[in-house]
Every structure is written in structure tokens, then in C-alpha cells.
Homo-oligomer: A and B are copies of this chain.
Amino acid sequence: MKPGKIQGMNHADKGDKFDVDLTVKDGRPEAFDALMIPGGLFNPDVLRVDQNALEFARHFFREHKPVAAICHGPQVLISADLVRGRKMTSWPAIQIDMRNAGARWLDEEVVVDNGLVSSRKPDDIPAFNRKMIEEFAEGRHTAAAAA
């Protein structure tokens, strides 16, 4: 959301720093073929109240491009009202928020629903990456959310 450096984290240890290439405000979603929303407690909590981030996410559903989200990442999709009727998983603590928002929540390491890939937690990352790459590479379509 802001230009500058971001700090990688590996559990409680600080990881490498990376340059921010582009903010969600300046980035044009048209320039991207797919969207991956990472987790963590902090980032989705901030992104989900940012209208630019929600509009950015909505583009991929509207244009039927593949989307992946893990851990607390699906909170962004709840706030953009994009989980209704979708088969998904997430960090288990937000399962009730997902269900209340209309998702069909499954307790599986990775759930794929028409180009929408979701996983629960860091342990699921290998399965998540495998399915995400598969969906992104094959350009499978993310169906538009129910109105």
C-alpha cells in the first residue's frame, strides 16, 4: 500500500527486506493475469479496509482471472463480497466469518473452485503452490461472484 521497503517475516524472526515495486493504488489490475493474496494477521486486516485493494481484487473476478488466497488472505475477499457461493478454505479461526459471508467452507489443505485457489495455513503451502501454479498456468477462469 505504501512505496518503500517491506520486511519479510519468518515466524517471529525478521527476514529479508524487499523493495515495493508498485502500490495497490498505482497498480493497474489490467496489467496482471492472476492475483495471489498472502496471509498474516496484519496485512489482510489493513488491506480489507482499503477501497483500492478491494477494487483491485474485484477486477480479477469480474474478468474471470485466477485468484489464490491463503490463511487470513480470504478476509480481503470477504470485504470485497467475493466469497458468496464459493467453495473455499481459510485460516480456521475465520471459518465462521467465511461461512457468514456465504462461502462453502471446507477443512482441506487446498480447495480449488473454478480458478479460485485457497489454503488454510503455512503447512499447506506446498499443496497451495502446486494448485496455484496449475490454475495460473492453465489460465483457468475465476467465475464471477454471485450478485
Q: Is A79 located at the chain interface by the 8 A CB criterion?
A: yes
**Complex Cα–Cα for A101 and B100 (A):** 6
CB proximity of A57 to chain B, nearest CB, Å: 14
Query: In the complex, which residues 64-96 of chain A have their Cβ closer than 8 Å to any Cβ of chain B?
Result: 75, 78-79, 91-94, 96
Q: Pull 12 A–B residue pairs with CB atoms less than 8 Å apart, ordered by A.
A: A41-B41, A45-B91, A45-B93, A49-B92, A78-B96, A78-B97, A78-B100, A79-B93, A96-B101, A97-B97, A97-B101, A100-B100
Q: Mark A6-17, 1 if CB is under 8 A from B, else 0.
A: 000000000000
**Complex Cα–Cα for A100 and B41 (A):** 20
**Complex Cα–Cα for A91 and B79 (A):** 14
Which residue of the partner chain, among B41, B92, B94, contacts A42 with CB atoms under 8 Å? B41
How many copies altogether? Answer: 2
**Complex Cα–Cα for A41 and B75 (A):** 13
**Complex Cα–Cα for A78 and B94 (A):** 10
B101 touches A48 (CB 8 A): no
A45 touches B49 (CB 8 A): no
